[in-house]
């Protein structure tokens, strides 16, 4: 097959390309240029393009750079900023997967005549007895990335290869070292690519402050209404937050349980007040047919969080046991066993 590999400049996509070359496929590497601003860190930075090119040279395959900066700004960066203006806590990496890596990138690959695309994500695409593609957790549970792929549908999965999904991370690095790939010891990317690190004097506060007005807000106690003081920017506060508040105390920890952007009030309480019976979800997506209300699922609310058993409702999920409140705008992934069945956005 003729396969286009999304090369992020990391070890996982490097080994994905190497494995496909070893299988005898016609492989081409491509790195997406998504952001060229001050952040320029995380995945797909200038340094990552260089690393991806070095790996492709080592493997003897062509390497290309696709400039998707305009689409990235429109579909990821601008919505990220607007979500904070509304008091939501978005997940830009999932939205990048939704709109760039598994939409724009796949469309480009198809126009160029490739049979499949491949990435270095730690998840698995397998076919059920019916022949339909299924998205499963990666073999390395600690590195599993099926959560950030939970927005994919069947058509995208049919076109997708995930060569390292059956491997442990240590095995991936061993293959990279054995093949002499420059990325064999490169750390995993942890940052949002368009937010510069704090060590550069930037960060989320400055990034957003250059694009929207940030407002001070009162911090009040939920039960008593006691005024604890102020936070500098209500747009930067999220549900469950403990640090950075005037109430910060190890002896009596307080957590953010509500954020009112319009009234500029942050409400805090104890951990028990964070607990909720379920979540309301919007923008639900399904890998195949929608599950009916009453279906049993496991709900994962962060990239590496534990999945919680729940019952699917018409407008969300109800947990078997109360769980902490999740901020509006966050993605949740829905599983049946190790299989991703869909996703939703907390509303």
CA angle 257, 238, 342 (to 5 degrees): 95
Q: Let me know if 107 is exposed, middle or buried by CB neighbors in 10 A (0-12, 13-18, 19+).
A: exposed
Strand (E) or helix (H) holding 79: helix 78-85
pLDDT mean over 289-317:
95
pLDDT mean over 88-99:
93
| C-beta of residue 308 within 8 angstroms of C-beta of residue 298 | yes
Sign of CA dihedral 308, 310, 314, 315: negative
Round the average pLDDT of the chain to a whole number and report it.
Answer: 92
Q: How far is CA 17 from CA 34, 91, 111, 131, 138, in A?
A: 21, 27, 20, 25, 18
Number of domains composing the chain: 3
In a domain, 69, yes or no: yes
- pLDDT confidence bin for 197, thresholds 50/70/90: low
User: What integer pLDDT is reported at residue 131 of this predicted model?
Assistant: 83
pLDDT mean over 295-322:
96
The enclosing domain of 64 has a CATH number of 3.40.50.620
φ, ψ of residue 214 to 5 degrees: the values are -105, 140
Mutual orientation of helices 169-178 and 11-22 as an angle, nearest 10°? 70
Q: Which of 199, 137, 198, 191 is nearest to 162 (CA)?
A: 137
Quote the domain boundaries for residue 302: 276-346
My answer on whether 172 and 305 are in the same domain is: no
The enclosing domain of 257 has a CATH number of 2.30.30.280
In a domain, 189, yes or no: no
My answer on whether 261 and 283 are in the same domain is: no
The Cα 142–Cα 138 span in angstroms is: 9
**DSSP letter (8 states) at residue 280:** E
Catalytic, 44? Answer no
- Give the 3-state secondary structure percentages of the chain, helix then strand then coil, rounded to 5: 30, 30, 40
HSE-CB for 212 with a 13 A CA cutoff: 20
Over 90: is that where the pLDDT of 200 sits? no
pLDDT mean over 51-64:
97
My answer on whether 308 and 291 are in the same domain is: yes
- pLDDT confidence bin for 305, thresholds 50/70/90: confident
Task: Give the pLDDT confidence of 225-268 residue by residue, as tens digits.
Answer: 999 999 999 999 999 999 889 986 667 889 999 999 999 999 99
My answer on whether 48 and 168 are in the same domain is: yes
The Cα 115–Cα 161 span in angstroms is: 10
Over 80: is that where the pLDDT of 40 sits? no
- pLDDT confidence bin for 39, thresholds 50/70/90: low
The enclosing domain of 341 has a CATH number of 2.40.30.10
Domain boundary (269, 293, 309) is at 269
| C-beta of residue 19 within 8 angstroms of C-beta of residue 163 | yes
Q: Which two tokens stand for residue 83?
A: 């979500």
My answer on whether 222 and 321 are in the same domain is: no
- pLDDT confidence bin for 198, thresholds 50/70/90: low
In a domain, 317, yes or no: yes
My answer on whether 246 and 284 are in the same domain is: no
My answer on whether 20 and 85 are in the same domain is: yes
Q: Of 43, 44, 56, 193, which residue is the catalytic one?
A: 193
My answer on whether 110 and 33 are in the same domain is: yes
In a domain, 226, yes or no: yes
Q: How far is CA 160 from CA 61, 105, 106, 124, 329, in A?
A: 20, 11, 9, 10, 27
Over 90: is that where the pLDDT of 297 sits? yes
Strand (E) or helix (H) holding 54: helix 46-59
Ramachandran class of 44: left when φ > 0, alpha when ψ lies in -120 to 50, beta otherwise: left
In a domain, 71, yes or no: yes
pLDDT mean over 86-100:
93
- pLDDT confidence bin for 326, thresholds 50/70/90: very high
My answer on whether 98 and 219 are in the same domain is: no
User: What integer pLDDT is reported at residue 192 of this predicted model?
Assistant: 79
| C-beta of residue 303 within 8 angstroms of C-beta of residue 148 | yes
Over 80: is that where the pLDDT of 156 sits? yes
Over 70: is that where the pLDDT of 84 sits? yes
My answer on whether 106 and 171 are in the same domain is: yes
Over 50: is that where the pLDDT of 199 sits? no
Task: Give the pLDDT confidence of 107-149 residue by residue, as tens digits.
Answer: 999 999 999 999 999 999 998 888 889 999 999 999 999 999 9
User: What integer pLDDT is reported at residue 35 of this predicted model?
Assistant: 84
My answer on whether 113 and 62 are in the same domain is: yes
The Cα 17–Cα 53 span in angstroms is: 12
The Cα 307–Cα 333 span in angstroms is: 9
Residue with the bigger pLDDT between 187 and 169: it is 169
User: What integer pLDDT is reported at residue 201 of this predicted model?
Assistant: 46
My answer on whether 99 and 63 are in the same domain is: yes
The Cα 343–Cα 327 span in angstroms is: 15
pLDDT mean over 25-33:
97
């Amino acid at each position: 097959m003729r396969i286009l590999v999304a090369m992020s400049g990391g070890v996982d996509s490097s080994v994905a390309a190497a494995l496909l070359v070893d299988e005898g496929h016609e492989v081409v590497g491509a790195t997406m240029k998504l952001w060229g601003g001050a952040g320029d860190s995380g995945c797909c930075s200038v340094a990552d393009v260089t690393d991806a090119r070095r790996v492709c040279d080592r493997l003897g395959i062509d390497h290309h750079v696709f400039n998707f900066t305009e689409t990235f700004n429109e579909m990821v960066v601008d919505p990220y900023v607007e979500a904070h203006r509304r008091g939501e806590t978005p997940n830009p990496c999932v939205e990048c997967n939704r709109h760039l890596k598994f939409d724009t990138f796949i469309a480009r690959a198809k126009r160029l005549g490739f049979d499949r695309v491949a990435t270095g994500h730690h998840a698995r695409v397998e076919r059920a007895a019916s022949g339909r593609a299924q998205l499963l957790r990666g073999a390395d549970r600690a590195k599993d990335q099926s959560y950030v792929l939970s927005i994919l549908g069947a058509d995208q999965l049919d076109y997708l290869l995930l060569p390292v999904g059956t491997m442990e991370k240590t095995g991936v690095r061993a293959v990279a070292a054995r093949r002499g790939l420059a990325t064999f010891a490169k750390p995993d990317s942890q940052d949002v690519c368009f937010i510069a690190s704090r060590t550069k004097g930037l960060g989320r506060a400055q990034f957003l402050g250059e694009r929207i007005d940030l407002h001070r807000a009162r911090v009040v106690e939920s039960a008593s209404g006691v005024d604890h003081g102020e936070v500098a920017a209500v747009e930067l506060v999220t549900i469950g937050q403990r640090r950075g508040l005037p109430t910060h105390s190890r002896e009596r920890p307080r957590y953010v349980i509500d954020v009112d952007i319009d009234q500029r009030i942050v409400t805090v309480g104890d951990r028990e007040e964070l607990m909720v019976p379920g979540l309301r979800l919007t923008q639900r997506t399904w890998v195949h047919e929608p599950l009916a209300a009453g279906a049993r699922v496991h709900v994962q609310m962060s990239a590496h969080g534990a999945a919680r058993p729940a019952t699917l409702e018409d407008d969300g999920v109800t947990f078997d046991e109360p769980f902490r409140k999740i901020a509006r705008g966050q993605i949740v992934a829905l599983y049946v066993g190790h299989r991703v069945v869909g996703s939703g956005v907390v509303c």
